[in-house]
Structure 1
Amino acid sequence: MTNELKDAVRERCRKMEIPLVGVANVERWEHPPFRPWMPEEFFPQSIFSGARSVIVIGLPIHLPVLETSPSIYYHELYRTVNTLLDQYTYRLASFLNEQGYPSVFVPRDGYGSIEVLRKNPIAFFSHRHAALLAGLGTFGVNNTILTPEYGPRIRFGSVLTAAPLPPDPMIDHELCTRCMRCVRLCPAGALDREGYPEGLTNRHACAAHSAALNKRHISPCGICIKVCPVGEDREHYGREDASPYEPGEQHGKLCRSWDHVRRYGGA
């Protein structure tokens, strides 16, 4: 039954045009792939006591829109993807409830505002770690999850369910190339050259920069994910060359289009 149910969940995701879906059992939080790890109160079964599995979905951030960041264009795309993540995970949880398995969705962010995040820069559940344990990607130097399909240009949502679903295999090789472009180009200086978890993000610096952009209505920043060379989406959009992201570089129509977008819609 659980294999049939997992197939049914994947079919629901296909109909909702969700490109990435992975499943982790809750035991993976108890036997983490690296140390240090999160405290037990952040485990799925600590948040929803009936949880036996976590379903993680991923929706991509379209690279050409992200390339205009910081801008109102990326700001609106970010909001759109967040809304879809909440809707889709809610619908998946409802479907599982109808099948007789108690389930809940987890909101995509889990904090009230960027100002709240500046005071306490952590949410009550980590979709990044859930995506790692569900086999969707691996951590990069930028402390985000990199996927083969989209690199770090993807956002995740999760469903905690009592259904004992078969877990997906975790990715057993690192996707990050250690190019350090994200470290070098981070406008907040929030990243370290060490890999995760040794080189944890300076969350306060990142949040402060986002707060400044938010006042101009063009948050979030997005630099560390747009400059990452990993992801099949770069080839899809013809963006294998990352040199236009370098400060002072100008590459004709491409950069002119970014400048045009940035001149409008924000303060």
Structure 2
Amino acid sequence: MNDDLKAAVRSRCRKMEIPLVGVAGTDRWENPPFSPWMPEEFYPQSIFPEARSVIVIGLPVHLPVLETSPSIYYHELYKTVNTLLDQYTYRLASFLNDCGYPSVFVPRDGYGSIEVLQKNPIAFFSHRHAALLAGLGTFGVNNTLLTPEYGPRVRFGSVLTAADLPPDPLREENLCTRCMLCVSACPVGALDDLDYPEGLTDKAACARNSADLARRHISPCGICIKVCPVGEDRRHYGRKAPGGGEDPRHRRAREHVGKFGGL
């Protein structure tokens, strides 16, 4: 395995100020950590047959902005983070190509619009599962990936590469506390039925809510990730977990932002 190349990839990520980076071998999709698992057509080697490794990067969603959600503020942050993820993963893939290893980036969302999601609520590749297999976090009740640094307030992008890179260890500790704050806070009850057959999230209800917010120009929702108590970012910003008492200044700021920029 190419330790020097992995070190070079991490060095480039540091220069691009990417805080989270992990690597998974494509064999991990064939030996998943739990079941049921995704169909084989969603494996990275099915999408890019040359793939031997998947590099996953993560960028944080800044908690004070997210606290205003749904809002134009969070809407703009969401777009910015997605754009950066696409740019950074493209640049990493180009670097690996220049080093002689066929590589491709995977676009952050991989679907055309909220209307498309309502009819076909699955993208062709799951960055969340890639991040899990790259050792960056564990799944929470709301079906998002929780990280020690940011809880679920992080978005991921992936690079599929023919380079055989040393994989990072899977995270063994389950970060989810099962506090169920995300379940109770969901405005459309998309997390109420924990036996929902498509996972823990009612994707249709979530997509309908996103479509409504999009018509008001303040999508996405973000509520289930803003209430999660997991993540060092809460300590960094001095934000207590929901129910622990809110600073009146934070509430005034949130209410001010919510009055503008959307319908």
After TM superposition, is the score higher than 0.5? yes
Q: How does 1:242-261 map to 2 (within 5 A)?
A: 242-243=242-243, 252-261=248-257
Q: Which moved more, 1:255-264 or 1:103-112?
A: 255-264
TM-score, normalization by structure 1: 0.95
Match of 1:20 in 2: 20
2-side partners of 1:53 and 1:128: how far apart?
16
Report the CA distance shift for 1:23/1:196 in structure 2 as closer, same or farther (over 3 A): farther
Return closer, same or farther for 1:164/1:14 CA change in 2, 3 Å cut-off. Answer: same
Q: What corresponds to 1:103 in structure 2?
A: 103
Letter in 2 for 1:230: V
- Give the CA deviation at 1:198: 8.1
2-structure distance, mates of 1:121, 1:151: 24
SS of 1:97's partner is helix
**Does the 8 A contact of 1:151 with 1:228 survive in 2?**
yes
Structure 2 vs 1, CA of residues 154 and 250 (structure 1 numbering), >3 Å: closer, same or farther? closer
Aligned to 1:32: 32
Counterpart residue number, 2:258:
262
**1:49-198 equivalences in 2 (<5 Å):** 49-192=49-192, 194=194
Shift of 1:253: 1.9
Q: Unpaired segments of 5 or more residues in structure 2? A: none
Query: Identity percentage over the alignment?
Result: 77
Q: In 2, are the aligned partners of 1:55 and 1:134 still within 8 Å (CA)?
A: yes
Does structure 1 conserve the Cα–Cα contact (< 8 Å) formed by 2:228 and 2:241?
A: no
Q: CA deviation at 1:242?
A: 1.7
Take 1:200 and 1:259, find their aligned partners in 2: how far apart are those partners? 31
* Contact map agreement 2:183 2:189 (CA 8 A) in 1: yes
Shift of 1:243: 2.2
Task: State the 1:254 CA deviation.
Answer: 1.5
What CA RMSD, in Å, does the superposition of the two structures yield over aligned residues?
1.6
Cross-structure match for 2:6: 6
Residues 196, 106 of structure 1: CA spacing in aligned structure 2 closer, same or farther, 3 A cutoff? farther
In 2: Cα distance, 1:138 partner to 1:25 partner: 17
SS at 1:243 equivalent: coil
- In the superposition, relative to structure 1, how do residues 259 and 2 fare at CA in structure 2: closer, same or farther (>3 Å)? same
Q: Output one character per residue of 1:138-175: Cα deviation in whole Å (capped at 9) or x when no partner.
A: 00001000000000000000000000000000000100
1:180 touches 1:193 (CA, 8 Å); kept in 2? no
TM-score, with length taken from structure 2: 0.97
Shift of 1:103: 0.1
Residue 197 (structure 1) shift: 8.7
Q: Any unmatched runs of 5+ in structure 1?
A: none
Distance across 2 between alignment mates of 1:84 and 1:31: 31
The one-character-per-residue Cα deviations of 1:170-221 (angstroms, maximum 9, x if unpaired) are 0001000000000000001101464999852100000000000000000000
2:239 aligns with: 239
Secondary structure of the residue aligned to 1:59 is strand
Residue 205 and residue 193 in structure 1: after superposition, are their counterparts in 2 closer, same or farther (change >3 A)?
closer
The answer to whether the Cα contact below 8 Å between 1:141 and 1:199 also exists between their aligned partners in 2 is no
* Alpha-carbon separation, structure 2, partners of 1:131 and 1:48: 18
Letter of the structure 2 residue corresponding to residue 184 of structure 1: S
Cα pair distance change 1:38/1:118, threshold 3 Å:
same
